[in-house]
Amino acid sequence: MKTPIQRLDTTPEELDALVEQARAALDEAGYQKLKAAIRTLGYVTALLEDQQTTLQSLRNLLCQARTEKTADVLNRAGVKTEKTLPAPKPKAPGHGRHSAKAYRGGHNVHVPHPSLKTGDPCPECERGKVYLQREPGVLVRLIGRSPIEATVYELEKLRCNLCGEVFTAKAPQGVSEEEKYDVTVGSMIAIFRYGSGFPIPLPASVQWEIVTAAAVRITPVFDELTRQAAQGDVLHNDDTSMTVLSLRRDIDDESDDPDRTGIFTSGIVSTREGRKIALFFTSRQHAGENLRDILVERAAAMAAPIQMCDALSRNMPKLPEKLEVIVGHCLAHARRRFVEVTPNFPDACRHVLEALGEVYHHDALAHKHGLSPEERLLFHQQRTGPVMDELQKWLKAQLEEKKVEPNSGLGGAISYLLKYWNRLTLFLRQAGAPVDNNVCERALKKAILHRKNSLFYLTENGAKVGDMFMSLIHTAELCRANPFDYLTQLQRHADELKDNPSQWMPWNYCNTLERAGAAINSG
């Protein structure tokens, strides 16, 4: 009989202290591995305390991530399939590299011709005259730099040998003796910390001082972005857990609401006319409550928007009487339930996965051909509708004819799909309804990346600043704008954007800058 393992209670702080004590006996690689193992233990322990954590979710967390493509899922389950290779994509025109216009903020150097100017005779034919081309020849030279560079100005000093007076050279024009950090420093810190999760070689207190000063200047743009997100045709929402130390202390001290102990970062992606806005909110509120706060700013005359989320109740907003949403649920979530049980029920899951594969294939074709929402709806009704009708009959038959145990993994997946069938197939009845909530889940990876690298926010204000920068950065990326240039221009034109923040959105700020430049030149 095995000797029972003796229980030994400890705290994360004690484990961290032990790791630091062992650091002297380990090399750097060993120290980092041990430290990562202790952090993983603490994170897994916290997940186990959550009643919603399943064994499958722990496997997905700790084991190597694998693709969920239908052919790969079935092959791993032992179902032999003839994996058809997709047709080769036609070669895109051009050389595949970024054009010179993509390098906004780059240093442009004008190189004149060494021997010719406009009006000179042609050295080739000796009869004509040369003139200046509108488009110059372009050569792009890229160099690597540190994220933040320092320029040291050594101001020459001279001292009188008689009276002792010291004469110091003035700083070059444009260099302020009061402002140590250029606005680009704030942009770089925000991009690396809240957009990429990379460390910056500056003290944490200095970084915080710089980004908070920048946040104050650009807050009007974030408020306008939130207002415009409320006018979207489709709003995706979901959330992920986050730690805010000040909120956690408040929760531990409270006793009036023991059931509400979570802290979340909610992601909301609003789409309208092909334009996407990503917003992040970290607080004790769920994704549904944050969505409700946004929809309050929606224009009363607008039609009800489409809400896309999974079936968790906390994603559903409790709206006032005058506000309504058309709810659709994520088909990818329903599909994932079958992916998880495919090893145990390969044949039945194959039938479902291949049927859902046709849905995504048809949706990809609709996007490829640029169909309007109404054309896409008709296309799905003609192509996808019969597939889903047949699948629904097949799913009902599995339960009614007792071919599947309702309490099994497959039975649970089938029951989920049938229970939310109308919301999962909203794209067959509502123009513009998406198939899944993947765009919001990809957005939440920003918050998850920050959580993995910074572990937590210290205060609610820190979370608010992080959410603001994360929203502006990801929205710029979704609009194919340069996030670094965007944040820099917002700071440099902080006074102008106060009066008209709608002209400083990621999709139109370049036009605003061009108009301002043209006005200066004409004046």
Rounded average pLDDT over 346-375? 93
Q: Given a cut of 70, is residue 422 above it in pLDDT?
A: yes
DSSP-derived 3-state class of residue 239: strand
Measure Cα distances from 243 to 135, 406, 418, 472 in Å. 53, 37, 36, 21
**pLDDT for 137:** 83
The Cα 415–Cα 419 span in angstroms is: 6
Local confidence band at 60 (pLDDT 50, 70, 90 cut-offs): low
pLDDT at 476: 95
CA 59 to chain centre: 24
DSSP conformation class of 112: -
Res. 426: pLDDT tops 90: yes
Confidence class for position 85, pLDDT limits 50, 70, 90:
very low
Per-residue pLDDT at 113: 86
pLDDT beyond 60 at 319 = yes
Q: What is the mean pLDDT of residues 328-347?
A: 92
* 238 close to 249: Cβ distance less than 8 angstroms: no
Count other Cβ atoms within 10 Å, centred on residue 355. 19
- Are 387 and 355 in contact by the 8 Å Cβ rule? The answer is yes
| Closest by Cα among 433, 438, 208, 419 to 311 | 419
Residues 6+ apart with CB under 8 A from 355: 387, 388, 390, 391
362/384 Cα distance (integer angstroms): 7
Mean pLDDT, rounded, for 391-409: 92
Tell me the pLDDT band of 64, cut-offs 50, 70 and 90.
low
Which tens digits make up the pLDDT trace of 226-238?
Answer: 999 999 999 999 9
- Identify the band that residue 62 occupies on the pLDDT scale cut at 50, 70 and 90: low
| pLDDT over threshold 80, residue 59 | no
92, pLDDT greater than 80: no
Higher local confidence (pLDDT), 322 or 451: 451
Beta bridge partners of 365: none
Instruction: Categorize the per-residue pLDDT at 101 as very low, low, confident or very high, splitting at 50, 70 and 90.
Output: low
Question: In the chain, pLDDT over 70 holds for what percent of residues?
Answer: 88
Angle between helices 509-522 and 483-492 (to 10 degrees): 50
Share of the chain above pLDDT 90, in %: 48
- Work out the mean pLDDT of the chain and round it to a whole number: 86
Which H or E element spans position 56? Answer: helix 55-62
Q: Which residue has the higher pLDDT, 4 or 190?
A: 190
Distance between the two ends of the chain, CA-based, in angstroms? Answer: 92
Three-state secondary structure call for residue 272: strand
Average pLDDT over residues 373-377: 94
Q: Which residues contact 332 (CB under 8 A, 6 or more apart)?
A: 435, 436, 437, 438
pLDDT band at 110 (very low <50, low <70, confident <90, very high): confident
How far is Cα 337 from Cα 401, in angstroms, rounded to an integer?
21
The DSSP call for residue 351 is: H
Distance in angstroms (rounded) separating the CA atoms of residues 68 and 60: 12
Average pLDDT of the residues in 216-229: 95
**Model confidence at 50, in pLDDT bands (50, 70, 90)?**
low
121, pLDDT greater than 80: yes
Q: Is it the case that residue 145 has pLDDT exceeding 80?
A: no
C-alpha–C-alpha distance, residues 355 and 491, integer Å: 51
Whether the predicted pLDDT of 417 surpasses 60: yes
Q: Name 267's bridge partners.
A: 238, 280
Span 260-266, mean pLDDT? 89
The conformational region for residue 274 under phi > 0 = left, psi -120 to 50 = alpha, else beta, is left
How far apart are alpha carbons 29 and 77 in whole angstroms? 37
Check whether 1 has a pLDDT greater than 60. no
Phi/psi of residue 213, each to 5°?
A: -65, -40
Residue 283 β-bridge partners: 264
Structure confidence at residue 91 (pLDDT): 64
Residue 502 reports pLDDT greater than 90: yes
More confident residue, 2 or 308: 308
Structure tokens at 365: 């074709």
User: Could you tell me which residues come within 8 angstroms of residue 475 by beta carbon, excluding any fewer than 6 positions away?
Assistant: 225, 276, 277, 278, 279, 506
Say if strands 264-272 and 275-283 run parallel, antiparallel, or are unpaired. antiparallel
Render the burial of 202-222: b for 16+ CB within 10 Å, e for the rest. beeeebbebbeebbebbbbbb
- Domain definitions of the chain by residue range: 13-49, 183-327+457-523, 331-436
Confidence of residue 326 (pLDDT cuts 50, 70, 90): very high
**Vertex 420, ends 380 and 478: CA angle to 5°?**
60
The answer to whether the Cα torsion of 336, 337, 340, 343 is positive or negative is negative
Say whether pTM exceeds 0.75: yes
- Torsion angles phi and psi, residue 25, rounded to 5: -90, 0
Helix (H/G/I), strand (E/B), else coil: 513: helix
More confident residue, 224 or 54: 224
- Which is nearest to 435 in space by CA: 365, 330, 312? 330
Is the pLDDT assigned to residue 17 strictly greater than 50? yes
Radius of gyration of the chain (CA): 29
Residues with Cβ within 8 Å of residue 436, at least 6 apart in sequence? 308, 330, 331, 332, 333
Q: Which residue in this structure is represented by tokens 């389950």?
A: 77
Answer for the pair 480, 300: CB distance below 8 angstroms, yes or no. Answer: no
**Per-residue pLDDT band at 225 (split at 50, 70, 90):** very high
The amino acid present at 202, given as its one-letter code, is L
Model confidence at 196, pLDDT cuts 50, 70, 90, reads confident
Q: Of 166-175, 299-308, 368-377, which range is least confident? A: 166-175
Vertex 407: Cα angle to 405 and 413 (nearest 5): 90
